[in-house]
Structure 1
Amino acid sequence: MNERLIVIGSLNMDLSVTVPRLPRPGETVSGADVVRGPGGKGGNQAVAAARLGARVRMVGLLGDDAHGADLRAALVAEGIDDRAVNVLPGTATGLALIVVQHDGENTVTLSPGANRHLDEATLRTLTDGIVADRGDTVLLQLEVPLPTVLTAAREARAAGALTVLNAAPLPEPGPLMAELLREVDVLVVNETEAAGLPGASGIAPPADRDHPGADPAGAEPARQDEDWTARADRLRLLGPATVVVTLGAVGAVAAGSGGHHTEPGFPVDAVDTVGAGDACCAQFAIALGLGRPLAEAVRRACAAGALAATRHGAQDALPSRAAVDALLAGAAPRTEVHRAR
């Protein structure tokens, strides 16, 4: 595999604690010892892509503290090109405070730190004025300023790169978000994000879900139906040629120019879902960048997400390409393709 993936996004240090149950407002719940580890949606997706076999370049900002030094070391250890990762003097590195319930459900509180300073001028400085080249895949998220993400998408698409947006965390609706959706080739969202996108009226928010691609015993596949496939297709009207909606424990649905695809989840024992969505996004971006069919790309993405949910932590849990291949080899084919309307 020689796919080149450029990830533009956040770099955070994660501080995680596991609790018997998530606290209610105003309540204190005792948990296990705090676990410190590298994270951020940008960093997670970059590390996931590297482990899945891509050549990865990370673009982002760190603070001049111990967290920042450790995050850079983590990128380098994965073989990621960190030349477009800069340190901001006098600024703290992004920090995520994560509380994980025993079954993998979690809450995250984010302090952006240096990430909030990744503006358009800084982006051009970090990339020497060239965000991407023809044939590259650019993977974007929304933990850095929205105008910067929009600029990156525009310039990458103009250069002939494939632009992939994981629209998370979803910002308040506004004209910039609507404009961004018109500038990306591929959109990946979960059910909640799909419901909150501008122009997505009529898409109901979901019931609680576990993680992309994992299917615990006894899960009802109620979300794997033509209704969600049609909703994914409706999101294409906002601009992206291809849309994937991850449905947590029961898999994902996708809509593209070639048709609709439904992928059931994989049966795994979930312990922590923090990195599952990032593994899913990275694998999907890689597969599409390599020209794989939509059905294959979604299936591989669900497998990667399922595996990431079987281990604790964000980057510590991200699977290798060999692990994804092994899971797919041991699973019966379970694909379902519909003709596009």
Structure 2
Amino acid sequence: MPATADAQTAGEGVRADRRGASAVTPEECIARVHEAGPRVTVIGDYLLDGWWSGSADRVAREAPAPVVHLSERSESPGGAANTALNLAALGARVRAVGVVGDDDAADELRAQLAAAGVDVSGLRSVTGASTTTKVRVTVADHVLLRLDQDREEAWPIHVREAFCERTEAAMIESDALLVCDYGSTLLDDLVVERLAAMRRPPLVVVDAHRPGRWSGLRPDIVTPNASEAETLPGVSLGSGEERVERAIAATDRLLEATGAAAIVVTLDRTGTVLLRSDREPARTHAVPAPERHASGAGDVFAAAITTSRAAGAPIEDAARFAQGAANVAVRRAGTCVCSLEQLGEWFSSEREAAGP
């Protein structure tokens, strides 16, 4: 099946930038995304986040543990599902490809994604399996406990092969592939090898706990945080601001170990550093947020840099676009989400604060 005209247009934008392109403003990035509506396939670990909040005024009689009186419960897409949700909120046309259980959590996950405009036809349930869930119990905006229900055993071979077939079919009509690998049993070495041999879309982005596993895919961009970067051979970043200079010094090792054309190391409150072999490093800076517990800021960043890059924005501007999205998302508690409208408002307020 031939690539769509949209995919060809976005691909030409990405390839043109590799030859060198002028910088664009955040507003121009937003306009490009609006116009292009890039098609993005998201593969990886789909899960459901739970947020249970309440108060704790006493300790249980039977154990030295606080008694939490729950007052509110909510559920939201997590992991690759949160990335897909953010892509849709940021203006991309999103196809989710993954594996979930045959349970209420899967139904809720699929329903929330579909309501946000995500194509969930590639998100398949496996009879007898459970969907991964992560429930956070919070008191006074602090996480007291997290309850995880994970799958530890490997998925059957027919499930992994069917997943690869769906991924290959989805990529044919996509402008970008975003891999969300958080260490589950789905994206095992067999799947990684199969994906590396497939025809790829114009842009491939990898967000992984162990980014070195994906070097055979030759990704265009990888987005590890500091601890994930340190899983690569010979990389030690330290702490605080020193991580920036150490990451820059390790540029060649990072690129070689990940097989990537560019790597953006995310450094929480320090911001990010963009590294390539043929260009000077580029920085973005985080804006301090209130002390609220937020989960999934990395998902937001990966979604935003993929969306803007697939829409043809130069990578330096795509990184700034993504930093802005992360700045917006972490300013409220819960699983992070940023919309294109919120991002536009953020950049407008930043420009006004900077003055003429």
TM-score, normalized by length of structure 1? Answer: 0.77
Q: Percent same amino acid among aligned pairs? A: 24
Equivalent residue of 2:269, what SS?
helix
Deviation at 1:194, TM superposition (A): 0.8
Against the structure 1 CA distance between its residues 295 and 52, is the aligned structure 2 distance closer, same or farther, given a 3 Å change threshold? same
Against the structure 1 CA distance between its residues 120 and 90, is the aligned structure 2 distance closer, same or farther, given a 3 Å change threshold? closer
Q: For each residue in 1:203-252, what CA deviation from the matched residue of structure 2 results, as whole angstroms up to 9, or x when unmatched? A: 13546xxxxxxxxxxxxxx2574333333553112211110111101211
Moved more, 274-283 or 50-59: 274-283
Which one-letter code corresponds to 1:121 in the other structure? E
Deviation at 1:266, TM superposition (A): 1.8
Question: 1:13–1:36: 8 Å Cα contact kept in structure 2?
Answer: no
Q: Distance in 2 between matches of 1:190 and 1:17?
A: 27
1:310 aligns with 2:334: no
Residue 38 of structure 2 is matched in structure 1 by 3
1:203 aligns with 2:236: yes
CA RMSD in angstroms, aligned pairs only: 3.2
Residue 264 of structure 1 is matched in structure 2 by 285
Residue 192 of structure 1 is matched in structure 2 by 227
Moved more, 53-62 or 293-302: 293-302
Alignment gaps of 5+ in structure 1: 171-176, 208-221, 334-341
Question: 2:130–2:151: 8 Å Cα contact kept in structure 1?
Answer: yes
Q: For each residue in 1:150-193, what CA deviation from the matched residue of structure 2 results, as whole angstroms up to 9, or x when unmatched? A: 1464145x33432111113x4xxxxxx64522422211011111
Against the structure 1 CA distance between its residues 190 and 71, is the aligned structure 2 distance closer, same or farther, given a 3 Å change threshold? same
Against the structure 1 CA distance between its residues 249 and 105, is the aligned structure 2 distance closer, same or farther, given a 3 Å change threshold? farther
1:295 aligns with 2:316: yes
Against the structure 1 CA distance between its residues 205 and 61, is the aligned structure 2 distance closer, same or farther, given a 3 Å change threshold? farther
What is the 5 A alignment of 1:1-341? 1-17=36-52, 28-31=65-68, 33=70, 35-99=73-137, 110-113=148-151, 117=155, 120-127=160-167, 129-133=168-172, 136-143=175-182, 144-147=186-189, 150-151=192-193, 153-155=195-197, 158-168=199-209, 170=210, 178-183=212-217, 184-197=219-232, 199=233, 201-204=234-237, 206=239, 222-223=241-242, 225-232=244-251, 234-238=253-257, 239-256=259-276, 257-314=278-335, 317-332=336-351
Deviation at 1:76, TM superposition (A): 0.6
Q: Distance in 2 between matches of 1:27 and 1:196?
A: 37
Q: Distance in 2 between matches of 1:40 and 1:93?
A: 11
Equivalent residue of 2:320, what SS?
helix
Equivalent residue of 1:45, what SS?
helix
Question: 1:8–1:140: 8 Å Cα contact kept in structure 2?
Answer: yes
Which one-letter code corresponds to 1:2 in the other structure? G
Against the structure 1 CA distance between its residues 133 and 107, is the aligned structure 2 distance closer, same or farther, given a 3 Å change threshold? farther
Against the structure 1 CA distance between its residues 165 and 305, is the aligned structure 2 distance closer, same or farther, given a 3 Å change threshold? same
Equivalent residue of 1:92, what SS?
coil
Q: Distance in 2 between matches of 1:68 and 1:130?
A: 23
Structure with a larger share of its residues in helix: 2
Which one-letter code corresponds to 1:237 in the other structure? E
Q: For each residue in 1:19-45, what CA deviation from the matched residue of structure 2 results, as whole angstroms up to 9, or x when unmatched? A: 999xxxx97355563633123311010
Deviation at 1:84, TM superposition (A): 0.6
Deviation at 1:308, TM superposition (A): 1.5
Larger Rg: 2
Which one scores higher on RCO, CA 8 angstroms, separation ≥ 6? 2
Question: 2:176–2:201: 8 Å Cα contact kept in structure 1?
Answer: no
Alignment gaps of 5+ in structure 2: 1-35, 57-62
Equivalent residue of 1:318, what SS?
coil
